[in-house]
Amino acid sequence: MATLVHPIAVAPGQRILRWLDDRNVLSFLFMLPAAGLLLMFLTYPLGLGVWLGFTDTRIGGPGIFIEFENYVSLAGDGVFWLSVFNTFLYTLIATVAKFALGLWLAILLNHNMPFKALIRAIVLLPYIVPTVLSALAFWWIYDAQFSIISYILERMGLITQYIDFLGVPSHARASLIVANVWRGIPFVAICLLAGLQTISPSLYEAAALDGASHWQRFRHVTAPLLMPILAVVLTFSVLFTFTDFQLVYAITRGGPVNSTHLMATLAFQRAIPGGRLGEGAAIATAMIPFLVAATALSYFGLQRRKWQHGEKDD
């Protein structure tokens, strides 16, 4: 009887297809391109960067391991500490402003009005357009001699002398923060708008019937329900502002006299034009602890389901 059961002949092509249907084989093959590229150009350089921070590598020659020498010299480097101060100041002020204005804009956009879709599309433009190119527009707007802002203020009789936006350290910092906020508002506004639209209008109606004022409705309905999405957007915003390079490089290149360097621009300055790759890598590596802290904070924050559901912390 056994002879009746012939093994089914399998063509070689079909054998490969069968083999490909094995979940683990297929998963491995599918993960290969992404994993290969990321390991080669992300994980490996990340490790290499930390290693370079412990060497005296220069452009054009291999370096030797020098332990913490880069970090020791950075600890006594005033420009480095100024860049750390600038990075925190820039991140703090820009983030607060972006969120305050972005939330306001989101609330405005959440009203019913004509041309709603068009207005929303226009709002996102600063976020779409290459940062460096809009930074150039700001550079021109901040020009010492032909600034349109100075021109308008002078015509209005508010100033008598053109403002030197980028020539004075404190002015230059403020100018950079304004440009960063301008670029960041759309992202915050559109994301928070999406959050606002998930809030049911009946909640507001119920609150209004109970006699809640505008502020009370915002405080007790909008704010808690918006919290989860706010937390995510905040994390992204802080990470990207903290590691920003483009705006500063395009507008001030760290000047006047190093006063607007962020850690990222200083790392570039020392490593590429300066040729000291090891020192630049050490500055870049010094940014990692902050990034890890910010990410972990938001990650664990989001894990707390209760908070996500809009209730207060215990």
Partner 1 sequence: MAYLETLPRRLVTVYLPLSIFLIVLLFPFVWMGVTTFKPNDELYNLSEHSPFWIKHPTLANINKLLFDTDYTDWLINTMIVSVVATFLSIFASVLAAYAITRLRFRGAQTVGLLIFLAYLVPPSILFIPLATIVVELGLYDTIWALVLTYPTFLIPFCTWLMMGYFKSIPYELEECALIDGASRIQILARITLPLAIPGLISAFIFAFTLSWNEFIYALTFVSSSENKTVPVGVLTQLVEGDVYHWGSLMAGALFGSLPVAIMYSFFVEHYVSSLTGAVKE
Residues 223-252 that bind partner 1 (CB under 8 A): 229, 232-233, 236, 239-240, 243-246, 249-250
Residue from the set 182, 184, 252, 258 that interacts with partner 1 by CB under 8 A: 182
Q: Is 277 in the site for partner 1 (CB under 8 A)?
A: yes
Buried-state track 228-265, b at ≥16 Cβ within 10 A, e below 16: bbbeebbbebbbebbbbebbbbbbbebeeebbbbbbbb
Q: Is 308 in the site for partner 1 (CB under 8 A)?
A: no
Segment contacting partner 1 (CB under 8 A): 4-12, 78-86, 90-98, 185-193? 185-193
Q: Is 27 in the site for partner 1 (CB under 8 A)?
A: yes
Q: What character string, x for contact with partner 1 (CB under 8 A) and - otherwise, covers 73-112?
A: ----------------------------x--xx--xx-xx
Closer residue to partner 1 (CB): 79 or 287: 287
Q: Is 13 in the site for partner 1 (CB under 8 A)?
A: no
Closer residue to partner 1 (CB): 138 or 165: 138
Nearest approach in angstroms of CB 45 to partner 1 is 4
Closer residue to partner 1 (CB): 4 or 159: 159
Contact of 278 with 72, CB cutoff 8 Å: no
How far apart, in whole angstroms, are the C-alpha atoms of residue 258 and residue 130? Answer: 25
Segment contacting partner 1 (CB under 8 A): 5-13, 163-171, 198-206, 218-226? 198-206
Segment contacting partner 1 (CB under 8 A): 70-78, 90-98, 167-175, 287-295? 287-295
Nearest approach in angstroms of CB 2 to partner 1 is 27
Determine the size of the site formed for partner 1 (CB under 8 A).
Answer: 98
How far apart, in whole angstroms, are the C-alpha atoms of residue 180 and residue 98? Answer: 9
Residues in region 37-76 near partner 1 by CB under 8 A: 37-38, 41-42, 44-46, 48-49, 52, 57
How far apart, in whole angstroms, are the C-alpha atoms of residue 182 and residue 311? Answer: 32
Nearest approach in angstroms of CB 245 to partner 1 is 5
